Structure 1
């Protein structure tokens, strides 16, 4: 097992290496639509908003999905899109039927509407058909809260999905138990291609460090008793953020924001830092699984 210290140093090195590249990359913005929803018929029109390198060439694809009731182009989503486009991806945040949460069957149907590679009007097919996209180079995904479940389930519907980074991800909620579709061994995505980052006070998968740890273990299959980091040699696994690590002192479900889930600004360490739970560190982890 990789130690937290070595994982941090690796993340720091890669983040610094990417900083100059990201600053030099010129990006182009795009928007489009796809047919999504819930159930067997994905018949509702939803938006896609993204960025891609302005330079000629064909690139792997990155998809981000937001949480329940969250606007698909929230600042946290657009931050991830911008960062991945700067790393040489056709990157997009995808609107979907996120007005409510749901059971495994409901969430599976929503994920399929986004990631069904066999349907030309799915979000992933729309993105892969872009002139600059080459999905044979790989697809990597991320998401927050319900969006993290979309990301974890993505490979069920498109074998080209290589890895997922989940924020605020779990399997057991107050009403819904997602063990049968999200837990380690019950989905197509292997745990050595999954990295989840949760706050110690996450009310949905916690709200204590020990309960967050238990959910992380159930989701990934990696057990590190009493630890806050269970990152493996390739960076997969899980990490628990302590209150002292976030600027507002509250590592809750929305740890990436200042002022909890109603906060209007992003935590600086998450947005621009090099900690194991920072955005750039985790996006850099995804890049190892695609072809440039």
Structure 2
């Protein structure tokens, strides 16, 4: 091999090593608190729990909000938070009044308490004040079910939020019609900065794949036809409908990423380790594409 060839090989190896280290940064746990609630008063104390890179530096921020009745530090949540920290984020799960659902105004009030950057007691203000956080590099959000609604609404309250990801994200949940705040144009987050993934047999968003598709189209402002199960723009925004055959337990329900449904604790192995459009890594990499390293 020529001297030039050897040098190019060495450079290639160095680049690969650097890439690997960036994608799997060591992490340090942290906890904090903020003032939240179900009204604009935001008077109740809630916990923030997260991870951040152990290495020195300044990092963008990821904020995760859980589904109704889900523990803010559940295995599903913390697996995603840890993975985002490993990708170079100050990443956290934010506890909030998730025990009950509500209308656009009720859930919007919860989102405001979390994401109002002008309120020094909000969760986003507390996270952006961390020594390793640099929110000028961008903030991205994610969540499940009610938490996915909060995620999409987040940019209503802070323009630093660059992209939002949702799992189990709809416009109608039982008696609650959220179309006024969740349909494209009803929220501040741009249509091409939203990515949602829903199961084809989601009983809350659906219950049929057709219903799920209608909700996905309404929220993202993107349609790919009456039979599409995947619909993405060139930048990766859009939606995906998970098929039962893709998940471990054969049921792509509201909690398709859990084996046995929303009351289960075992994570779908493919969701944890795979790279398909509905799995964790692909969606987190999409979020990462909108922040400054």
What TM bracket, shorter-length normalisation? over 0.9
**Is 1:261 equivalent to 2:265 in the alignment?**
no
Q: C-alpha separation between the residues in 1 aligned to 2:47 and 2:100?
A: 18
> Map of 1:264-279 to 2, 5 A cutoff?
264-279=265-280
2:89 equivalent in structure 1: 89
Q: C-alpha separation between the residues in 1 aligned to 2:24 and 2:167?
A: 28
Q: What is the Cα deviation at residue 172 of structure 1?
A: 1.6
Question: Cα gap change, 1:243/1:31 in structure 2, threshold over 3 Å: closer, same or farther?
Answer: same
SS of corresponding position for 2:173: coil
- RMSD of equivalent CA atoms: 1.5
Q: Identify unmatched segments of 5+ residues in structure 1.
A: 1-15
Q: What is the Cα deviation at residue 22 of structure 1?
A: 6.3
Q: C-alpha separation between the residues in 2 aligned to 1:261 and 1:50?
A: 22
Q: What is the Cα deviation at residue 23 of structure 1?
A: 6.8
Q: What is the Cα deviation at residue 20 of structure 1?
A: 3.3
**Is 1:250 equivalent to 2:251 in the alignment?**
yes
Q: C-alpha separation between the residues in 2 aligned to 1:289 and 1:126?
A: 22
Off by >6 Å, runs of 4+ in structure 1: 16-19
1:282 equivalent in structure 2: 283
Q: Identify unmatched segments of 5+ residues in structure 2.
A: 1-15
Please say which structure displays the higher CA radius of gyration. 2
Question: Deviation digits for residues 119-177 of structure 1, max 9, x if unmatched?
Answer: 00100000000000000000000000000011000000000000011000011222111
SS of corresponding position for 2:20: helix
Question: Deviation digits for residues 233-269 of structure 1, max 9, x if unmatched?
Answer: 1000000000000000000000010001111100011
SS of corresponding position for 2:83: helix
How many residue pairs get aligned? The number is: 277
Q: What is the Cα deviation at residue 19 of structure 1?
A: 8.8
- Contact (CA 8 Å) 2:50, 2:90: kept in 1 or not? yes
Question: Cα gap change, 1:60/1:199 in structure 2, threshold over 3 Å: closer, same or farther?
Answer: same
SS of corresponding position for 1:49: strand
Q: C-alpha separation between the residues in 2 aligned to 1:80 and 1:98?
A: 18
Q: What is the Cα deviation at residue 18 of structure 1?
A: 10
Q: C-alpha separation between the residues in 1 aligned to 2:163 and 2:282?
A: 14
1:28 equivalent in structure 2: 28
- Contact (CA 8 Å) 1:62, 1:139: kept in 2 or not? yes
SS of corresponding position for 2:132: coil
Q: C-alpha separation between the residues in 2 aligned to 1:195 and 1:286?
A: 9
TM-score normalised to structure 1 length: 0.92
Question: Cα gap change, 1:262/1:110 in structure 2, threshold over 3 Å: closer, same or farther?
Answer: same
2:192 equivalent in structure 1: 192
**Is 1:207 equivalent to 2:207 in the alignment?**
yes
Question: Cα gap change, 1:18/1:273 in structure 2, threshold over 3 Å: closer, same or farther?
Answer: farther
> Map of 1:216-231 to 2, 5 A cutoff?
216-225=216-225, 226-231=227-232
Question: Deviation digits for residues 3-46 of structure 1, max 9, x if unmatched?
Answer: xxxxxxxxxxxxx9999346742111100111001112101000
1:63 equivalent in structure 2: 63
1:44 equivalent in structure 2: 44
Question: Cα gap change, 1:19/1:168 in structure 2, threshold over 3 Å: closer, same or farther?
Answer: farther
TM-score normalised to structure 2 length: 0.92
1:74 equivalent in structure 2: 74
